Amino acid sequence: NLPDPVPTHREPIYSPRVDLVAKYPTYPNATQFRLPNIGFSVQQAAVEKGIAKTFPLILTSGRLVEYEGGGEETRSNRWLAELQQEMFVEINPADASERGIGDGTWVWVNGAENNAKARVKALVTERVGRGVAFMPFHFGGWFQGKDLRAHYPQGSDPYVLGESVNSITTYGYDPVTGMQEPKCTLCQIVAA
């Protein structure tokens, strides 16, 4: 039931390689499960607007060993919370140097849609390649630099809060499952 023979390459909706979009476009717009999937239109608009020039870094999200899922339960465990106390973005030393960003400094990660932004600490590391940034998906409780701890019912707030990377990810859905695509987008990182 796959829409393509395997393997088939398609550029992400927000691609850093706009020169490849014409040859490897995302899936055509379609209605799936009664809902419109307009990834092709979004991809074309991103190319026309020059999004890749304004947001030149690839942002990917992923898992930390210390936390599970959205992290709400594991960030509420004091032993696990002690292991990873802050949300962060991994950035390559060359990219950090170009932006005047030092290890452990506060930065804004700006997303490519809706003026989305997240305030996190920079982790300058060779673990990510040049042009790539990584953020874990286990955090919540902050929004665009504001701590929302006061909005939790008394005694229910986790030990660790941080920005949610999903607040800066962009449009995209898998055409087979309808699952959102929070793993691949573009961003810009600037010193806070």
Structural domain spans, the chain: 55-191
Tokens of 132: 């790539």
* pLDDT for the residue numbered 70: 78
Cα separation, 67 vs 83, in Å, equals: 9
User: Cα-Cα-Cα-Cα dihedral of 75, 81, 83, 87, to 10°?
Assistant: 60
Burial 54-79 (b: 16+ CB within 10 A, else e): ebebbbbbeebebbeeebeebbeeee
Please, where are the H alpha helices in 8-152? 18-21, 39-49, 51-54, 78-83, 93-98
Instruction: Per-residue pLDDT tens, the chain, 192 aa: give them.
Output: 678 888 889 999 999 999 999 999 999 999 987 889 999 999 999 999 999 999 999 999 999 988 887 787 888 888 888 888 999 999 999 999 999 999 999 999 999 999 999 999 999 999 999 999 999 999 999 999 999 999 999 999 999 999 999 999 999 988 888 788 888 899 999 999
| Residue 33 confidence (pLDDT) | 78
The fold adopted by the segment(s) 55-191 is: Barwin-like endoglucanases (2.40.40)
User: Per residue in 12-33, is it b (16+ CB within 10 Å) or e — as a string?
Assistant: bbbbbebeebeeebbbeeeeee
Residue where the block lists tokens 């793993």: 183
**For residues 143 and 116, is the Cβ–Cβ distance under 8 A?**
no
Please tell me the number of Cα atoms within 13 Å of 86 on its side-chain side: 13
Q: What pLDDT is stored for residue 69 in this prediction?
A: 79
pTM of the model: 0.91
